[in-house]
Structure 1
C-alpha cells in the first residue's frame, strides 16, 4: 500500500467536566421558551448531557439564534465537542430521523472509502493508474490510462468538467462513467484542479471494480456499519452504478458522527475504521480550489475560519460537515434544496460566517478563561 508520509497529530486537551455555571446556563436554555423561528420546529435545543464543555454558553445560545435566522433554507445545526453533542436544533418541521441529501459532501465519503480500500490492499496505492479498470473505454487513450487514483482524489485528472454548465448533459447520458472518461483532456493529469462530479463518479466505479461489490454495499459494510449509521438513499446511474460523489442521504446525526470519526484519527468506539494517517493525508493541501481560494486535499476542503484551521465536507445548497481539530469541534448542518434563496452562494457565505463568528468563538469560550488551560495546536501537513 502506497500512502504519503503522515505527520503525527498531537491530541488536544479536553476539559474533564463542565462548569457549574455552564450547566445552569444550558439547563435554563433547555427549559426556556423556544426562540422565534420561521415555521414549526421539531427540536429547538438539546444538550447531551447539559453542560458547557468549555463553551461560552451565552455565545452558543446566540449561535443557535443566528442559525434560526438562516431558516429557511437551513434545516439543522448540530454542534459537538469530541463525542458530546452540546447543541442540536432542527427547523421547519425537520427531525433527527430525516435523511438529508449531502449533495457533494458525499465526495468526502468517497475519500474515506478510498482510504479504507488502500488499507485493505483493495487498491495498490494512490499512484495506481486507472487504465486497467477501464480497458475498453480507455483502449485508445494512453494519456487517460495514466490518470491515477491520486488525481481522482485531488480533482486533477485534466478531464473536462461534468459539473456546472455540463452537468445536465452528463447526467442525461446513458453511461456516466463512459461520458466522463470520454471528455477531452483540457489540462495534463496532475495539473490544475478541475472540479467535476464525474471525477468522483469514476473513483466510485474504481472502488466498485476493485472491491467486487457495489459502491453502496462497500460503503455500508466498511464505513457506515462500524459507525452505527445507515445510508438512507443513494442515487444510481442508468447503468446501475451508485452516484460516486453526489446524492447520498444521511441523517444530520450520521453526518456529525462521520466528522467525529475524522476528528478522532479514524477511530470510533475503539475501532480503527480509517487508517490513522489517512485523516492527515486527506487534509493536506495538494491544490487550490477555484472557489474562494479554499485549499483542497483528498476530496476535503480546508480553510482558516474564525482564526482556526477548519476541514470541511461541502455540498450544494448548504450541506456541511466541519471539523476544527484544535478545538475538538465538529459541526454538521443541512439545508433545504427546495426552499433555497435565489443566491445560494449567499446562503453558503452565511453558514461560513455562522461558524466563524458564532460557533467557533463559543467553542473557544472558557479556554481563554482562568481554570481552562489553552488547547495545544496540533501539527498537520496543512
Structure 2
C-alpha cells in the first residue's frame, strides 16, 4: 500500500485534482479561463487563432479539438524537441469544446499552463496543494525537454495515496485532519462539475468529465480514472467506497477490454457487498 507505482494515465485524474486545488488557491480563476491567459509569453508564434478558444475545462475534459498525440502519434510526440509546442501547433480536427479526443498532449498543455501561471513546477504544486493536505508524498516524475512535468502520464503514487485522492472527491473536496477540523482543498461544487459527462470514450462508451470516467456498475453511479496496464481508481459515493487497483504495466494490455474486466471486478465487489 505504501510503495509508489507508475499510475500511467491515471495521472490525468490526479492532474485534474491538482487543477481544482489551483483554482481553490486562486492560481487559476476558474475552469472557464482561457488557456492562453495562463501561458502568458510562453506561447509559440504562428499558432492557429482557435487556440485562444481553448479553456482549462476543455483541457480537463479532453476537448481541446487538437489532433491527438496519443495512440499512433505518441512515439513521435515524446521524441519531439518541445512537447508543448508540438501539441499546441497540431492541426484542429474539431472545434474547442467538441468531441472528446483522448490525448496526453492535451493534459501536458494543462501541466504547462499550471507551471506558467503559478511560477512553480507542477510537482511543487501537486505536493503543496494536494499532497500536504492529504498527508501523502508525491514524488517527482518524468519531465519534458523544457522541464515541464509530464501532464497525464508516469506519476508515481502509492495505492494509499490514491485512496486519499479518491476520498477527497468522495468527501466533496474536503479533507479532515486528526482533530476533526475540515479543510477545503477543491472548490465548492468542483466534484459535481468534474463528474458531469462532457464527452464519451470511444473505447468503453463511458462518459468523461474532468479527468474522470462515468459509468454505472451494479446499479450504482461509479466514477473512475484509469491507466495503461491496470491502474485504476474507483469512487462509488452511494456505497461510501473508494477502490484502488495497481498492476504491473509491463505485459501487453488489451486496452479498453482490460478496463471492462476491472469494471466487472468492481461490479462483483458491489454485488457481494450488497448481499452481506
Question: Which TM-score applies when normalising by structure 1?
Answer: 0.68
The answer on whether the counterparts of 2:225 and 2:232 sit within 8 Å (CA) in structure 1 is yes
The answer on whether the counterparts of 2:115 and 2:122 sit within 8 Å (CA) in structure 1 is yes
SS, match of residue 234 in structure 1 = coil
Which structure would you say has the larger Rg?
1
CA distance in 1, matches of 2:163, 2:269: 15
Q: Quick check: 1:245 aligned with 2:152?
A: yes
SS, match of residue 266 in structure 2 = helix
CA distance in 2, matches of 1:280, 1:170: 33
Q: Quick check: 1:130 aligned with 2:35?
A: yes
Coordinate RMSD, CA, aligned: 1.5
Matches within 5 A, 1:114-153: 114-132=19-37, 133=39, 135=41, 136-153=43-60
- Runs of at least 4 residues off by over 4 Å: none
Matches within 5 A, 1:276-295: 276-295=188-207
Q: Quick check: 1:306 aligned with 2:213?
A: no
The aligned length equals: 269
CA pair 127-276 structure 1, distance change in 2 beyond 3 A: closer
SS, match of residue 321 in structure 1 = strand
CA distance in 2, matches of 1:243, 1:343: 24
The answer on whether the counterparts of 1:131 and 1:138 sit within 8 Å (CA) in structure 2 is no
2:134 corresponds to which of 204, 224, 227: 227
Once the two structures are TM-superposed, the CA of residue 276 in structure 1 deviates from its matched residue by 2.9
| Matched residue, 1:86 | none
Q: Quick check: 1:353 aligned with 2:260?
A: no
CA pair 124-139 structure 1, distance change in 2 beyond 3 A: farther
Structure 1: state its 5+ residue gaps. Answer: 1-95, 367-382
Q: 1 or 2 for the larger relative contact order (CA 8 Å, sep ≥6)? A: 1
| Matched residue, 2:111 | 204
- Identify the range of structure 1 (309-318 vs 125-134) with the bigger mean alpha-carbon deviation: 125-134
The answer on whether the counterparts of 1:329 and 1:363 sit within 8 Å (CA) in structure 2 is no
Matches within 5 A, 1:150-229: 150-229=57-136
CA pair 335-184 structure 1, distance change in 2 beyond 3 A: same
| Matched residue, 2:4 | 99
Structure 2: state its 5+ residue gaps. Answer: 177-181
Question: Which TM-score applies when normalising by structure 2?
Answer: 0.93
